Structure 1
Amino acid sequence: MAGRFGIAARFVALAVVWGSSFLSIKVGLQGLSPAQVALARVAFGALALAVVLAARRRPLPRDPALWGHLAVVSVLLCAAPFLLFSWAEQYVSSGLASIFNATTPLLTVVFAAAALPAERLTAPRVAGLLLGFAGVLTLVGVWQGVDLSHQLTAQLACLGATTCYGAAFVYLRRFVSPRGADPVVVAFGQTASATVLLALPASAIAVQPMHLTAAVVLSVLALGVLGTGLAYVWNTAVVSSWGAAHASSVTYLTPVVGVVLGVLVLHEPVHWNEPAGAVLVVLGILASHGKLAPGAASSSRSSPLRGDGPARG
C-alpha cells in the first residue's frame, strides 16, 4: 500500500510540477531574459540530476555515439523548446502556453508515422490529428482573422516547441532507447549537453541585466531542480510501476494545473476558446491513441510510443 501511495504521490507531483512550469517561466521573465531563463533551467536541472546520479553511484556512459545522440536530443528536448516557450510567454499567458504544450502527443504521432514503420497512420490516429488540429485553430481564434502580431508569433513559437518535443521523443525511441541506457543517465546527458550548448552563445544571447528578486530566483530554481531535474526521476518510477500508457496520462492534467495557477497566482484572463480548444486537443490525443474506441481500456497498454514522453513544460 505504501509503495502504491508513493507512486501516486509522484504522479501528482509530476502533474503539479510540469503544470506549474509555465507559471515559473512567467515569473522568471520578470527579472531574466528568455535565454537566461532557459540556460538557468537546464543548468539547475543538470545539477539536480548529477546529485541523483552521484547518490546512486551511476556511471556516465562512455559510448561516443550515445553522447552524439544525446546532443541531438538536448537541442530538440531542451535547448530549442525551452527558448521558444520562454520567448513566447513574454506575449501570451502561462495558461495558454500550458494548453499548447498539450499538443505534444499529437505531434509525436505525426513524427512517429513518418519515421517509425510500426507507427503508421491509422483511421483513429488521423481522426485524432484532425480533432487536435481543430483544437489548435480554436486556441488561435482563426475566426478573428490573421493578425501577424507578437501574440500570434508567440503561439506559433509554442507550437514550434511542441514540434521539437514530438521529434525528440521519436528520436529517443529510434536511436537512444535501443542502447539500454539508464533513463536518469539519459536525462542528465541531455540537460548537461543543453547547458553547454546554451552557455556557448550566452555572451551574445543572455547578456541583459538581471533583476533577481526572491520570486524570480525561487521560480527558476523550481523550474530547473524540480521540473527539469527531479521530475525525470519521478516519471521513471511511475512508468516502471504503472506502465508507459498510464504514466503518460499526466499529459491531460498539466494544462489544467497550468491554467488554474495562471488564474489564481497571476490573475490571467481565460477566454472561452482556450478551454474549448484544450478539450478538442485532449480528445484528439485520446482518439489518436485509440482510447475512444470500444475496448480501448483493454488495449491502452499496447503502444510503447505512448509513454515515450509525457508533455512537459
Structure 2
Amino acid sequence: MTLSAPARPASTLAVTVQFVLAGVVWGSSFLFIAVALTGMTPAQVAWSRLVFGALALAALVLMRRERLSRSPRVWAHLAVIAVTFCVTPYLLFAWAQQHVPSSLASIFNATTPIMTAVFAWAAFRVERLTTGQLAGIAVGIAGVVVIIAPGAVADVAASTVAQLALLGATACYGFSLAYMRRFLSQTGLSGIAFAAGYVGIGAVVMLVLTPVVFAQPVAWSPWVIGSVVLLGVLGTGFAYAWNQNVLAAWGPTRASTVTYITPVIGVVLGIVVLGERLTWNEPVGALIVLVGILLVQRRLARRPRRRNDEAADAGASAAS
C-alpha cells in the first residue's frame, strides 16, 4: 500500500515506544477476547471489536484530516477486505477461543506471514517464491502439525476443530494481505485512512446484523466491557496508527518484527493472568513455525530483499 509520511518526523524514543505498544496491544488481544467471552458470545465480541475500532479510527481520520478515497472501485475492494480481513477472522478467533487457550491462539496467529506468502504466490501471482521460501512454507506446515497432531491423534475433539478454525482465520489474513497487494497497492491513501475504510465497512456489516448478534443477552461486567473497549479502540484502532508511524520511521523490514513480539506477549499473559498451561508440543511447534517464517521472509538470506517483499512483511504485522 502507498503510505503517506507523517507531517513531522517522530523521535527515536517515540517510535520505539509506539513499536512496543503495538506489540503489547496486539499480543494482549487474545487475553481481551478470552475475558470478553466470559460474558459475550463470539459474534458479540467481534461486533464490539469492529464498532469500537471503527470509532477510534474515524476519530484519528478526523483529527489528522486524512483523505478518504472517492473511487467506487477502491471501496468495492475495501468491502472485500472488510469481510476477509476483519469480520470472518474476528468471528473465527472469538469462536475458537471458547475451546483453546488464548496463548495457543496467539501462537497460531504467528502463521500469518506464511499464509500471506502462499496466497501471494499461488492465488494472486504477485510474488515468486524462491526454493528457500518454499522450504520455509514446508517448515511452517510442519510446525503447525507438531502443534495440532498430538491432540488430534488422541481425540478429534472441539479443541482440534478450534485449532483448524484458527488456521482458517490466519488464512483469511493471508488472503487479504495478498489481495491488498494485488488490487490496492496504489490507492494513494495513508495507512490510517486505508484501515479506517475496511474496518468501517466491517463495522457497518456487524451493525446491520445487530438484531441477530444480540439476540442472546450479554452478561455485562467491568472486565467484559473493559476488554472489548480495549480490544477495539487499541487493538483495532490506535495500534494501526502506531504501526504506521513505525513503518514510516523504520521501514517495512524492521517494522514487521512486531510479528515476533505478539505471540510472546500472548503466551506470557495467558500463563500469568489466566493460569493457562502449555504442553510440550506447543512451544516446540511455535519455534518450528518461527523458523519457517524467517525462511519465508528471507531473514536468513544474505542477499538484499525486494521492496515489495518487505512491504508484505509490514502488512502481515498488522494482522492481529
> Structure 2: which 5+ residue stretches go unaligned?
1-8
Amino acid at match of 2:270: G
**Counterparts of residues 272-283 of structure 1 (less than 5 Å):** 272-283=280-291
Deviations 1:80-134 (A, max 9, x none): 0000000000000000000000000000000010245451221111110111001
Cα distance change on mapping 1:300 and 1:58 into 2, 3 Å: closer
- 1:83 aligned partner: 91
Residue 122 of structure 2 is aligned to residue 114 of structure 1? yes
Residue 292 of structure 2 is aligned to residue 284 of structure 1? yes
The one of 273, 296, 315 equivalent to 1:308 is 315
Q: Report the Cα distance in structure 2 between the residues aligned to 1:162 and 1:21, rounded to whole angstroms.
A: 15
What is the TM-score when the length of structure 1 is the normalising length? 0.95
1:124/1:289 contact within 8 Å kept: no
Deviations 1:275-311 (A, max 9, x none): 1111011110001122223x25x54867232222215
**Counterparts of residues 201-280 of structure 1 (less than 5 Å):** 201-280=209-288
Q: Report the Cα distance in structure 2 between the residues aligned to 1:59 and 1:143, rounded to whole angstroms.
A: 49
- Between the two proteins, the alignment pairs up a number of residues equal to 311
| More displaced stretch, 32-41 vs 174-183 | 174-183
Amino acid at match of 2:294: L
Secondary structure, counterpart of 2:49 in structure 1: helix
- 1:68 aligned partner: 76
> Structure 1: which 5+ residue stretches go unaligned?
none
Q: Report the Cα distance in structure 2 between the residues aligned to 1:167 and 1:126, rounded to whole angstroms.
A: 17
Residue 72 of structure 2 is aligned to residue 44 of structure 1? no
Secondary structure, counterpart of 1:177 in structure 2: coil
**Counterparts of residues 21-60 of structure 1 (less than 5 Å):** 21-60=29-68
What is the TM-score when the length of structure 2 is the normalising length? 0.93
Q: Report the Cα distance in structure 1 between the residues aligned to 2:164 and 2:130, rounded to whole angstroms.
A: 27
Residue 145 of structure 2 is aligned to residue 124 of structure 1? no
Deviations 1:193-219 (A, max 9, x none): 001112222322432110111111111
Cα distance change on mapping 1:123 and 1:22 into 2, 3 Å: same
Q: How much is the aligned-residue C-alpha RMSD, in angstroms?
A: 1.7
Cα distance change on mapping 1:230 and 1:143 into 2, 3 Å: closer
Q: Report the Cα distance in structure 2 between the residues aligned to 1:261 and 1:282, rounded to whole angstroms.
A: 20
